[in-house]
């Protein structure tokens, strides 16, 4: 898996992307904004709506490592805390 999607977000905006991840396998999820002055955050939820991991740092990009305990659907949520920019979201194993 690589590119999951793209989008454009402004302050307070959010977009979500649904993916299926395999259990007991580590993935890196990366949000890569086109503008370096934004603050994008990343939240990963399991199929039950539980927050699994997050990156809410003040950095422009956001990234998380996740090793699901089971194979199933996960929701990747990108939120714009500051600024407006296009972005790419990738999942790498």
Q: Evaluate whether residue 10 is within a structural domain.
A: no
Q: Using one digit for the tens of pLDDT, what is the confidence trace for 49-67?
A: 999 999 999 999 999 999 9
Q: Evaluate whether residue 19 is within a structural domain.
A: yes
Find the radius of gyration of the CA atoms of the chain. 12
pLDDT at 1: 59
Total tally of structural domains belonging to the chain: 1
Confidence bin at 45 (pLDDT 50/70/90): very high
**Does residue 26 have a pLDDT over 70?**
yes
Q: Evaluate whether residue 26 is within a structural domain.
A: yes
Domain membership of residue 22 as a residue range:
15-45+67-73
**Does residue 5 have a pLDDT over 80?**
yes
**Hey, what's the torsion of the CAs at 27, 16, 35, 83, to 10 degrees?**
-130
pTM: 0.94
Rounded CA-CA distance 83/59 in Å is 12
């Amino acid at each position: 898996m690589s590119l999951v999607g793209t989008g454009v977000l402004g302050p307070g905006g959010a977009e979500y992307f649904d993916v299926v991840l395999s259990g007991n396998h580590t993935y890196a999820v990366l949000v890569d904004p086109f503008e370096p002055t934004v603050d994008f955050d990343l939240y990963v939820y399991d199929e039950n709506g539980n927050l699994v991991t997050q990156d809410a740092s003040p950095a422009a990009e956001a990234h998380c490592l996740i090793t699901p305990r089971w194979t199933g659907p996960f929701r990747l949520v990108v939120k714009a805390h500051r600024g407006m920019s296009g972005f790419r979201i990738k999942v790498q194993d």
